[in-house]
Amino acid sequence: MPEEGLLHGASGVISVPSTVAVIEHAVHGLILFDTGINHRVADPKAADSYWGVGLRAAYGAQAFTREHAIDAQLDRLGYRLSDVKYVIYSHLHLDHAGGMSYFPEAVHVVQHDELAGDTDLFLDGTVTVVRTAGHTPGHQGIILNLAHQERIAFMGDAAHLQEGLDGNVPMTSDWNIQEKLLTYGRLRQLGRAGVRTFLSHDPGHFAALPHDGVFWD
């Protein structure tokens, strides 16, 4: 897609992921952070009726295949859809919440505007949900306290590209620029605290994550 769509003032074309994190909690079972794009988008005709005419091409999703959808990915990794107990959403845009319907029995966690502050989801310090408004009113991320690794954070679209965060450059589709810049400050604070942060659409961040059934912890 045009990089301008992710970074104001940029030029050229960029290929980006839409990251989904698979987390195995020792007590609470399988957790997903975001669910990616719905499988219908892999079919051009179905995509026009599902997303709207022309949006598949506008977002550059022609490379998205049926095998990329979260249900197919989980099957490839040996999981059943019913194994997923919690789904935590950074926000509800179509490239982050497209797989919601695959998990009717899971607990779905989203941010309410009136929720002031952060939430220790299981009250054990393992998964902390943090408010990161700006891209959308209720955008949120998660911080994982892994037993044998550094703390890591999945921050969705709190920033779209590391370049944008480094340069304090918002995105044209952000809901509130002032809130987004405050969130940028929070991301930098996490970095200073030693929390390694991953953005959903940054290609370098995606490449640094474990893939294909490899786990960090």
| pLDDT tens per residue, range 139-174 | 999 999 998 888 999 999 999 999 999 999 999 899
How does pLDDT run across 12-36, given as a tens digit for each residue? 999 999 999 999 999 999 999 999 9
How does pLDDT run across 80-114, given as a tens digit for each residue? 999 999 999 999 999 999 999 999 999 999 987 64
pLDDT higher than 70, residue 116: no
Please compute the mean of the pLDDT values over residues 190-204 and round it to a whole number: 96
Q: Rounded mean pLDDT of the chain?
A: 94
Residue 108 has a CB neighbour count (10 Å cut-off) of 15
Between β-strands 21-25 and 196-198, what pairing exists: parallel, antiparallel or unpaired?
Answer: unpaired
Please compute the mean of the pLDDT values over residues 70-84 and round it to a whole number: 98
